[in-house]
Amino acid sequence: MLQLDMDCVHLKSYNDMKNFSVKLDLAITALKHAGVVKEGKYDKEFKSYISSFGASVLQSGLKPTVAFYSEKGGANTDRQHLLVALMTMMSQNGKMYDYLLIHDNLDHLEDEILNNAIALKLALRLFEAK
C-alpha cells in the first residue's frame, strides 16, 4: 500500500513539472510580448521587479501590489510591463487591476499569478541584462 501512495506522489510531481515546463515556455513568449525582452536583452531593473513581486503579494496583498506596479512612480523602467506579461500568461487583455475587480475568488487568482511570476522570473534568466 505504501508503494502505491509513493507512485501517486511521483506521478503528481511529474505532472506538476510537465505543467510548469509549459508555463515556462509561455513566460518566455509573454516577456517578449510585453516588451520586457527586446533583442534577447532586458533592463536589469526588471529582475528586481520580478523578484520582489511575489514577496510584495504575500506581504501586502494582491490588489495593493498590483496598484503599486500599475504606476511608474520614480522608477527608471516602467513596472507595468511585468503586469502585461502576467496578463499575457493568463490569456487576458486590459489592465490587471480592472481584471482583479471583477473576480470574487482572489485566493485562486493569487496562486495563479504567483506561479506565473515564478515562471517569469525563471524565464528571465534565459536572457541577458543590458
For the chain, 130 residues long, give each residue's pLDDT as a single digit of tens: 333 333 333 334 555 666 778 889 999 999 999 999 999 999 999 999 999 999 999 999 999 999 999 987 666 678 899 999 999 999 998 899 999 999 888 888 999 999 999 999 999 999 999 8
The domain spans of the chain are 2-129
Closest alpha carbon to 87 in 10, 27, 7 = 27
Q: Can you say whether residue 103 is alpha, beta or left, with left for phi > 0 and alpha for psi between -120 and 50 degrees?
A: beta
- The whole-model pTM stands at 0.81
What lies within 8 Å, CB to CB, of 50 at 6+ separation is 82, 117, 120, 121, 124
Q: What is the pLDDT of residue 57?
A: 95
Q: What is the pLDDT of residue 58?
A: 93
Longest dimension (CA), the chain: 59
Domain 2-129 has CATH 3.90.1150.10: no
Closest alpha carbon to 63 in 87, 19, 98 = 98
Q: What is the pLDDT of residue 117?
A: 94
